[in-house]
Structure 1
């Protein structure tokens, strides 16, 4: 776990600290509302109202739910009663599929996560030992999503060095590049190029957690400029990184699996 990062508190946010956990292909925010207007992102997002129902506005309609799953590229506005937890997932990933399986059937926004009340309660213990693992397990319905240990090893390598090529990753795990890319897409739900963006986010987050500003973090993660980092972050999550860092925030960077472990197990620092 990295040291906390503290930013200035805007007038629109409460004084409570927020927290972000960054993992390969996933991210979790817990804290006060960021008071976002209508927005959209490239990642899927499960939102849990920790203190009460969420007001969900899509187009001209408004609904109230304790939990909602927002698919990628759907413009909406979610307003919580108090604090909220936002779990971002790569579309098409095994974790996203497992999460969808414990929501009410439907098209577009999905509501009624089977464990929504427990997830709201567990949100308070995320920083405790095993807290993050337990929360993610319940969010994904305790599904045992397995990943080929060679892909798990490659994901760990990529999370540390996002510029590693497919050829180098494949050689490191003793696969041909073509077979490696097929397995990678099967087990992560996305392409190596897309997953590389998540890896860059982890590197940037680790530098921010160590006290770097956005300019230094963007350069360390391999982004062309701070504005490039900001635009990629905004496209993925629906808000600018400066907006997120405007609240008092603790940043944690984790590696989700150990080689050979199920994807729902083991969170390493």
Structure 2
């Protein structure tokens, strides 16, 4: 089954609304929250260790957890929210699901609406308008924040940890430790996630997949496809074919 609908892209969050499809095993560099539009809109989840969750209308998955998802029945609709781990909302969700994936929506402070009330495009758009662009959390070390800014600007120029650390005025080993401590992932994992976000933005602006891949700093379309499959469980073509990117 193919994903189709709309996706709002921005700093801190990606919000999808529409018909959900299958994915292969993957692990994204963001916390994910899925909310089915109605009781019949459920998904089943298989984790890397073979455990299964669902069918469920509600699902929260921490960053870095390998899994695959499948809609249960045809026409399952819902919202899939991806929150950067260093965003305010992402930090709150991450703390609530620190023990692993959950089929209960945890309380999340400062959301404009209860996630369980996201039942249509209008409510999904309202949530996206709140989450997209909230920015980074205040708990991030200034070195990491400065390095993030430098990296995003240089995505197409193949930034390296050593180069960004030198520009930031800190050793690469120290920046690497701070990065893992504050973001819970390596510099390279975060870089791949940011490149996927930039490639999606470029596709939404009209670029083809190959040009978007180059513009985001991937070596070529095949490189972008491998990273997209590893982080979303879908190829770039399968991911974007049925989507309107906003």
Give the equivalent residue in structure 2 for 1:221: 216
Q: Distance in 1 between matches of 2:86 and 2:131?
A: 25
More helix by share: 2
Kindly state the Cα deviation for residue 250 of structure 1 after the two structures are TM-superposed. 2.1
Q: How many residues align?
A: 226
Give the equivalent residue in structure 1 for 2:132: 132
- Aligned with residue 76 of structure 1, among 65, 69, 85: 69
Q: Distance in 2 between matches of 1:53 and 1:114?
A: 21
SS in 1 for 2:81: strand
Give the structure-1-normalised TM-score: 0.68
- Aligned with residue 160 of structure 1, among 119, 129, 153: 153
Kindly state the Cα deviation for residue 244 of structure 1 after the two structures are TM-superposed. 2.3
Q: Which moved more, 1:166-175 or 1:48-57?
A: 48-57
Runs of 4+ aligned structure 1 residues displaced above 6 Å come to 90-95
RMSD: 3.6
Q: Distance in 1 between matches of 2:176 and 2:40?
A: 42
Q: Deviations for 1:36-83, whole angstroms, at most 9, x for unmatched residues?
A: 2x5321125321223445423246967343321235222332448753
Give the equivalent residue in structure 2 for 1:41: 26
Give the structure-2-normalised TM-score: 0.73
Q: Which moved more, 1:68-77 or 1:182-191?
A: 68-77
SS in 2 for 1:45: strand
In structure 2, the CA distance between the partners of 1:69 and 1:95, relative to structure 1 (3 Å rule), is same
Q: Which moved more, 1:224-233 or 1:87-96?
A: 87-96
| Alignment of 1:169 onto 2:164 | yes
SS in 2 for 1:76: strand
Q: Deviations for 1:69-110, whole angstroms, at most 9, x for unmatched residues?
A: 23522233244875322233578999766324435x965x41
Q: Distance in 2 between matches of 1:151 and 1:87?
A: 24
Give the equivalent residue in structure 1 for 2:56: 65
Give the equivalent residue in structure 2 for 1:110: 102
Kindly state the Cα deviation for residue 19 of structure 1 after the two structures are TM-superposed. 1.5
Give the equivalent residue in structure 1 for 2:205: 210
Give the equivalent residue in structure 2 for 1:239: 234
Unaligned 5+ segments in structure 1 are: 1-9, 138-143, 252-269
- Aligned with residue 151 of structure 1, among 144, 154, 166: 144
Alpha-carbon contact 1:166-1:192 (below 8 Å) kept: yes
